[in-house]
Homo-oligomer: A and B are copies of this chain.
Amino acid sequence: MARLAAWPFEDLGFARVDHHRALRGGPEVVYGAGKTPQEAAAIVAALLAQDASPVLVTRATAEHAEAVGEVAPGARWHPRSGMLVCRAAEPGGTRPGTVAVVCAGTSDLPVAEEAWVTAGAFGCRVDTLVDVGVAGAHRLFADARRLQAADVLIVVAGMEGALPSLVAGLVAAPVVAVPTSVGYGAAFEGLAALLAMLNSCAVGVSVVNIDNGFGAGALAARILRARGPGAPEAADGSNP
C-alpha cells in the first residue's frame, strides 16, 4: 500500500497527470473528445516534459493537432482516425511478435487505423488486411497463412460483426474484436455488431467498446509485451 500511496501526479487544475506512469516508461494517452485544444496541449506538454513514451491523443481534430503541434513539434496527425502521435516508442523498444489488424470493409478503416497506429506507437510490428468481409470469405481464406502468423489479431467490423468468429476459427492466437458503428437501421450505431461479437461461438474472442480502435491496439501491445524479456510495465490509465 505504501507504494500505491507514493505514486506521484501533477494537478493541472482541470486534469491530474500521472508522473509515475512516466517513471515506469508506460504509455500516456489523452482522450481528445470533450477537451479544448488548449487543454489537450497542456496535458501533452506536461507529459513530454518527462520520459513518457509513447504519448498519444485520440479523437483529435485538426484544431487539436495544431495546438498540440506547438508543444510537440514532431507530432504526426492521422486525419482518418484522428490519432495524434506526439512521441512514438523509441526504435529499440520494439516488442516481439506481430499484431494483425483485419478490417471487414472500407467504411471500417477509420477505426482500424486507430488500432494500427496505436499498436505501432507502442512499438508493435503490424500487418494489415483490409476489405475481407464474410460475404466474400474466399478473400479472407486466401490470406489464412498471414492470419495464422500473427501473435495477436485485431478484427474490426460493423454491420453484422461476423468476422471475428470466422477469423478465430482459423487461428490459435487471441482475437480482439472491435465493433464499429458502420451500418444503418437495425445496426443501431454498432449495437448489432457488438452483440454478435459478444456471442461469438468461437474460442478466444474478447470485445472492446464500439469504435474503440485505440483500446484494441493498446491491449494487443499489452498481450505482446508478456512475451518480452524486459521488466514488467506498470499500470497506465487513460485521462478520460
What size tier do the contact residues of chain A reach? 35 or more
Could you tell me if B195 and A195 are in contact, using CB atoms closer than 8 angstroms?
Answer: yes
Q: Is A218 an interface residue (CB 8 A)?
A: yes
Known: A14-B109, A185-B210, A204-B218. A196 touches B142 (CB 8 A): no
Could you tell me if B195 and A186 are in contact, using CB atoms closer than 8 angstroms?
Answer: yes
Q: Is A94 an interface residue (CB 8 A)?
A: no
Could you tell me if A203 and B238 are in contact, using CB atoms closer than 8 angstroms?
Answer: yes
A176 contact set on B, CB distance < 8 A: 206
Partner of A232 from the list B106, B172, B206, B227 (CB cut-off 8 Å) is B172
Could you tell me if B223 and A198 are in contact, using CB atoms closer than 8 angstroms?
Answer: no
- A to B CB contacts below 8 Å, 13 in the list: A1-B141, A1-B142, A2-B5, A14-B131, A135-B240, A136-B169, A159-B199, A174-B222, A181-B185, A184-B211, A201-B240, A205-B208, A206-B208
